Structure 1
């Protein structure tokens, strides 16, 4: 598992976060076409708008929106590779109404 960092967004924002798997995956492997990445957010309140895979660049893009002012959210992304590798990454989003 890797902690990818902390980001700040406002409640009205809809923002994307990319996870690059090039360092993790060997050249022979890629993102699974059959098993979609699983994204969970805690606590509830920050919405996962969409999750997309870029197979050519071996990246996952997570779109988030909303959230409660002053709340820190943990976003967990679990991704599977074509050859069966599983990786869980986490990042934090702090919602601030400036």
Structure 2
């Protein structure tokens, strides 16, 4: 998949980000049964300050809670969700962390 969105947060914020699955991607009757997330800092691969607090899912949605991060850094978050029928979705978004 491509980058779904470009997001922004401050280092002290804890925020949630949703990914919805529908239409031809997830046909009627199929549901999400697992989800996980990873992150990498695009501007400094050694930076691990952006915390994935939790990943949850419902039948048609994944939710990732993120906290912290280093101001001035850009991170890519990859969410992998699997459906009951065996479909595997890999979605990505970026987070720019900036202290305002």
Q: TM-score, normalised by structure 1?
A: 0.90
Question: How many residues in Structure 1 have an aligned counterpart in Structure 2?
Answer: 93
Q: How does 1:1-98 map to 2 (within 5 A)?
A: 1-23=1-23, 24-32=25-33, 36-43=34-41, 44-55=48-59, 58-98=60-100
Q: Over aligned residue pairs, what C-alpha RMSD do you find?
A: 0.9
TM-score by length of 2: 0.88
